[in-house]
């Protein structure tokens, strides 16, 4: 069964620094999709970035990038030049390619960016 684990419950960083949030996953499938979503203080959930398991290159979108380490079943999210508005809860998620399109989420990491 697929499972996603985020061990960091809360992180605080200073503005304009770089932060890495950890995520490990469990799957029996050789093909799967990994995602990061952000939930703002208002409750809005926004897609940030995706990594397909068959791609070796780490995905990058704006100031978000991924550290995909397939042998370790790890997909870390890196945010460079953090801004106050990056403060939110970040969720890691996964879909196995062979399943019914079910997407499971981790427990989330709360990021606070301080001025």
Partner 1 sequence: GPKVLQIPSHQIIDMGQMVTLNCDPVSNHLYFYWYKQILGQQMEFLVNFYNGKVMEKSKLFKDQFSVERPDGSYFTLKIQPTALEDSAVYFCASSAGTGGSAETLYFGSGTRLTVL
| Binding footprint of partner 1 on the chain (CB under 8 A) | 33, 35, 37, 39, 42-47, 50, 52, 89, 91, 93, 95, 99-108
Pull the structure tokens for residue 87: 């403060």
> Under 8 Å CB-to-CB from 71, ≥6 apart: which residues?
none
Question: Which CB atom, from 60 or from 107, has the smaller least distance to partner 1?
Answer: 107
Question: Which CB atom, from 57 or from 100, has the smaller least distance to partner 1?
Answer: 100
CB of 70 to partner 1, least distance (A): 18
CB of 101 to partner 1, least distance (A): 5
- Report CA dihedral (75, 76, 78, 83) to the nearest 10 degrees: 110
Question: Which CB atom, from 70 or from 102, has the smaller least distance to partner 1?
Answer: 102
CB of 105 to partner 1, least distance (A): 4
């Amino acid at each position: 069964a697929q499972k996603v684990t985020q061990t960091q419950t809360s992180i605080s960083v200073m503005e304009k620094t770089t932060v890495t949030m950890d995520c490990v996953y469990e799957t029996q499938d050789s093909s799967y999709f990994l995602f990061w979503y952000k939930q703002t203080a208002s409750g809005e959930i926004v897609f940030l970035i995706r990594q397909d398991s068959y791609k070796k290159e780490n995905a990058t979108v704006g100031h978000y990038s991924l550290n995909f380490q397939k042998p370790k079943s790890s997909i870390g999210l890196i945010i460079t030049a953090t801004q106050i508005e990056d403060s939110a809860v970040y969720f890691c998620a996964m879909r196995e390619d062979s399943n019914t399109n079910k997407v499971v989420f981790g427990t989330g990491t709360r990021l606070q960016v301080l001025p």
